[in-house]
Amino acid sequence: MRFENDRGALVFYHNGEMVRIEAWGRDSLRVRASMSASFTGTDRALTEEVENTDTQVTIEEVPHAVGDGTFDTRKEATITNGLIKAVVNFAGVIAFYKGDSLILREYFRSYDGTISRESRCLKLINRTWKGIPGGSEYILNVKFESCHGEKLFGMGQYQQDCLDLKGCVLELAQRNSQISIPFAVSSSGYGFLWNNPAVGRVTFGRNYYEWIAQSTKEMDYWITAADTPRQIVENYTAVTGRAGMFPEDLMGLWQCKLRYRTQDEVLSVARQYQKEGIKIDQIVIDFFHWTLQGDWKFDKKYWPDPKAMVDELHEMGIKVIVSVWPSVDRRSENFYPMMEKGLLIRTERGAAQTYDYQGDCVEIDAFHPEARKYIWEVCKKNYYDLGIDAFWLDNSEPDYGVYDFENYRYCDGPALSISNLYPQMFSRAFYDEMSKTGKDVVNLLRCAWAGSQKYGNVVWSGDVPSTFEAFADQIQCGLNMGLAGIPWWTTDIGGFMTDDVNDEDFRQLLIRWYQFAVYSPVLRMHGDRGPYNIPPLDERDWGGGYLHTGQPNELWSYGEENYAIMKKYYNIRISLHDYIKDLFAEAHENGSPLLRTMFYEFPQDPACWELKDQYMFGSRYLAAPILQLNSFKRDVYLPAGQWKLTSDGKVYEGGRTVSVEAPIDYMPVFERMIQGE
């Protein structure tokens, strides 16, 4: 075992492994390990310039008991950066401390010649590297001790009912409605980033934590220590980036459905909203407004003059966003030029196909700079130059026909090694060019990775079912996404997949979901609304004419009583404009999410660490969504202080649970009373 102090970084060599621990931001350390002679030099999510800190490294001989009351000395090394300290023993096991308190330690159960706790005969070591035959990558397994009583949050978005992730097994892979952002916030006072985009798995077990990368060249993780979740997120976003300033003119209602088939449909909806006196900030043109996937242009048969359409919408104060998929149909005019230049994802075996919805498709290689340039230039010509304001980058995981990651390869390496970074690279094909204009960039994506918040991404929760169970899942999805550094987040109001818009149970769900969406970052109507009894425009037309469309999805589409409720809540949203503006500014300044877990605002209250069905919208409003059918009353926990119920103005003393009425036209919301206001 050999330790070195390399200009303030602690480096050690053990069993063929080179490990480097160095300060990386305030109260934070970055840990890298490699079985090679050097590191890759890739920072992945750690993109931001970090402040210089006063780091201390010590290497010393420390006595260890070896049995029979005897001791010998072994080398041990320590690196300290503010609140956080890492101690490495002679077996290469790393332990992290916040001050003098142990917060995380690598798991080691192998004989080391001492009588310490970890000296056992199981031959389980903290970091294992298994070489992949014929390649330079390894299967990497890193284990940590499980802390009794610890709670874990963040990690992106998983469609489950768990807010606290302790005890969960999470796939580190991107799927439709699953977003892997490997950053965890611990109740023990630390944040942990697995800075590796490889496909893999993390297990937050009661006995130990286990991070697995199925194909990688190096280990890379980052850890920070802080006294509150707010400070943990601030430290994390300081090194991975923060969202820009969200435009004021997009803080209201976004209108969308599956799918507006013609420019006349879009304009008629916009005109009707104007007639109703409801301002929509943005209207969304969904998929198959094109001819074939990969053509990335309007089908002239149904969109004869898109510039005139955009101009009229702009005159109404409405921005326009269009759907762009990364899939390229073999019949597309862009398929063979891109295939010939190597700009599409490659398959390791079998036919060149990665996606098969409505055509035989291969998706673009978003890691290839020429592929990003190609798709941008086509979309600039066919959309952006016509005045289109933004892009809905759908299927951005990408949505593989089969999630067989070992069968796909990008120009930068096998999909197993880097696929989780794909949605971020796809978004950058647009962000990197659009940001050069000096205009605000706000694109809509279905997926993200660590650091995506800095690339103008509004991330939505994917194609989720229209059920109360799915609705409840979205609450924890949004809360954990915020803790993972993604403040611009939204859902399809009412869920995406609806069998019958006339079903009264669905309409009740829609209202409850809409009420929640008003108290969330982006208010966006969308969904695939059945029944599918609307005839196609042209069954013989292989372009946008033959594909189905859903039922109307405008505010007035669900009956007068529901329309009245949605208008009432629309007005609430507009009345909150200045407050929401301040929340977006806070996200830009320190990384705070708009949707906040109760413990984010009240970390000293143990009850707040247990709550998953209510949340804070910023620091002032406590929202308690109705998550069951035919439920018109619910219990709400109020932390210490005074809270005013927004329905009747009644003031409640906190530190207790109260029961409040929730008729169909009201979701319980409490305003936090601030002394002096």
Cα–Cα distances in Å, from 382 out to 287, 303, 379, 386?
A: 15, 12, 5, 7
285: three-class secondary structure by DSSP: strand
User: What does the alpha-carbon distance between residue 155 and residue 608 come to, in Å, rounded to a whole number?
Assistant: 19
> DSSP states of 311-370 as a string?
HHHHHTT-EEEEEE-SEEETTSTTHHHHHHTT-BPEESSSSS-SB-TTS-EEEB-TTSHH
Secondary-structure percent of the chain, ordered helix, strand, coil, rounded to 5 = 25, 30, 45
Is 286 known to be catalytic? no
Is 463 known to be catalytic? yes
Q: Which helix (H) or strand (E) holds 272?
A: helix 263-276
Tokens of 184: 């965890």
Residue with tokens 């304009």: 267
Residue 632 near residue 532 (C-beta atoms within 8 A): no
Give the sign of the dihedral formed by CA 257, CA 261, CA 263, CA 267: negative
User: What does the alpha-carbon distance between residue 306 and residue 383 come to, in Å, rounded to a whole number?
Assistant: 9
Which listed residue (394, 492, 554, 601) is catalytic? 394
- Indicate left, alpha or beta for 660 from its phi (over 0: left) and psi (-120 to 50: alpha): beta
Count helices and strands in the chain by DSSP H and E runs? 12, 41
User: What does the alpha-carbon distance between residue 303 and residue 333 come to, in Å, rounded to a whole number?
Assistant: 19
Q: What is the DSSP letter of 454?
A: G
Do strands 642-645 and 55-67 pair parallel, antiparallel, or not at all (unpaired)? unpaired
Tokens of 504: 């009264």
Strand partners of residue 21: 10, 31
Which listed residue (76, 463, 528, 601) is catalytic? 463
User: What does the alpha-carbon distance between residue 81 and residue 31 come to, in Å, rounded to a whole number?
Assistant: 13
Residue 391 near residue 443 (C-beta atoms within 8 A): yes
Residue 138 near residue 131 (C-beta atoms within 8 A): yes
Residue 122 has phi, psi (to 5 degrees) of -80, -15
Residue with tokens 């976003």: 237
Tokens of 358: 């409505």
Which listed residue (218, 389, 397, 473) is catalytic? 397
Is 653 known to be catalytic? no
Q: What is the CA radius of gyration of the chain?
A: 26
Relative orientation angle of helices 560-575 and 504-518, to the nearest 10 degrees: 10
Tokens of 343: 């700009």
Cα–Cα distances in Å, from 153 out to 164, 374, 482, 500, 615?
A: 5, 39, 10, 35, 14
User: What does the alpha-carbon distance between residue 117 and residue 129 come to, in Å, rounded to a whole number?
Assistant: 24
Tokens of 268: 């008629």
Residue with tokens 């970091």: 127
The residues annotated as belonging to the active site are: 394, 397, 463
